[in-house]
Amino acid sequence: MANPMADEMRRFKGNDDKNPFEAMSERFDRAARLLGLDPDLYAVLRVPSREIKVYIPVKMDTGHIEVFEGYRVQHNFARGPAKGGIRYAPDVSLDEVKALAAWMTWKCAVVNVPFGGGKGGIVCDPRQMSEGELERLTRRYTAELLDFIGPNKDVPAPDMNTGEQTMAWIMDTFSMHSRHTVNAVVTGKPVALGGSEGRREATGRGLLFTIDEAVRALKLKPSETSVIVQGSGNVGGIGASLMHEKGYKIVGISDISGGIYSPNGLDVPAVLEFLHTTRSLEGYPNAEPVGNAELLELECDVLAPCATENQITLENANKIKCKILAEGANGPTTPGADEILYEKGVFVIPDILANAGGVTVSYFEWVQDRMGYFWSENEVNKRLREAMVASFNELKGFSERHKVDTRTAAYMMAIDRVAYHTKMRGIYA
């Protein structure tokens, strides 16, 4: 029997299913068409507001100068300042940063946070650099962006291979040039420097809250729900730990080198302690070793890819055996896989909702910095849960009313909100 939703999905296949910017654009195009988005608004929203490319000379510990390439893409300002992380990695590309900046626009709109999307990155291998080299790299990158970032312009945050220390360096550099302390220029800072309680756990906690709602919607019980988590870092590790505390049965987890599986459930605190001690899951007792690709294809109730982009593709989507796909990572599923998952009846919690806990608490941090009054961790977590549950229910209701899959519903909701602001503000010319 023909599936009209699958036919609609086929209309928007790009040339490169694994290019992150094409993947984002393909989904944007489909949602915009279903919304009947005005062509003029379509033209504005489909492209970034600004792409910044900088070359960063850094004096290395050896005394020689090395020049690094860096980016900052500011996708949209209609709802507020740009917001998004900065990643340090050898494979950072402009297309990746553009896609992540756009995803941040839609992510903020889905959870109704008054930010636009931004993203940054530097092409480097931080594992091969000393702390001093990383500090000089970060400060010079910040100096190159002084005219473009700020509490009312663009508010960076940590991402892959950056963290609290990186944000502290950015805040200090910006503050030195401003001649006063500006702690609201970044989020994800140490609590002592104006960071928010609960920020480090926020993405994993937000993932838990959306999984709780999906499990409830499918009439499952946490104690009887098996979960596989790909990734054991800030999202996957914390998410797995919080789900374990809640009573979920975590049967599989992985790191960059591979994973482990136990159908009877893993002792997550023991697994994470082993990983912290040995820097690898290899050799963990009382569990079966399994490859990262194979881990995704094992049977479970909830599959949470929390690592990197392009993990579920045309090649392996038919082998996915979960009931709920909770996308803790950005862009873990390619557009080509969407159609297959929809036809299989998998309930997808799309990345622009599932991992929006981080940006939600980043917004809370920005608010606290600007008013100079800070909330307890319980207050932060309570507000986060309210935001994530409300957004999940809005998304589920929108999907059912418009008879579209949950990912398309998320994009439609987000685009509609940003388009409204853009239309009401008008185009300055």
Span 318-339, average pLDDT: 94
Q: Are 329 and 231 in contact (CB under 8 A)?
A: yes
Which residue carries 């290899």 as its tokens? 282
Q: Of 118-122, 140-144, 232-236, where does mean pLDDT reach its minimum?
A: 232-236
pLDDT tens-digit readout, 207-250: 999 999 999 999 999 999 999 999 998 899 999 999 999 999 99
Query: To the nearest whole percent, how much of the chain has pLDDT over 90?
Result: 89
119 is catalytic: yes
Phi-psi region of 5 (alpha: psi -120 to 50; beta: other; left: phi over 0): alpha
Which residue carries 């756009």 as its tokens? 102
Task: With a cut of 50, say whether residue 34 has pLDDT above it.
Answer: yes
Domains and CATH numbers, the chain: 1-36+199-354+381-429 (3.40.50.720), 46-193 (3.40.50.10860)
- DSSP H/E element including 120: strand 116-123
Rounded to an integer, what distance in angstroms lies between the CA atom of residue 350 and that of residue 274? 31
Task: With a cut of 50, say whether residue 14 has pLDDT above it.
Answer: no
Task: With a cut of 60, say whether residue 13 has pLDDT above it.
Answer: no
Two tokens at 261?
Answer: 């599986």
Catalytic site residue from 83, 107, 119, 249 = 119
Q: What angle do CA 332, 333, 339 make, to 5 degrees?
A: 170
Span 61-79, average pLDDT: 98
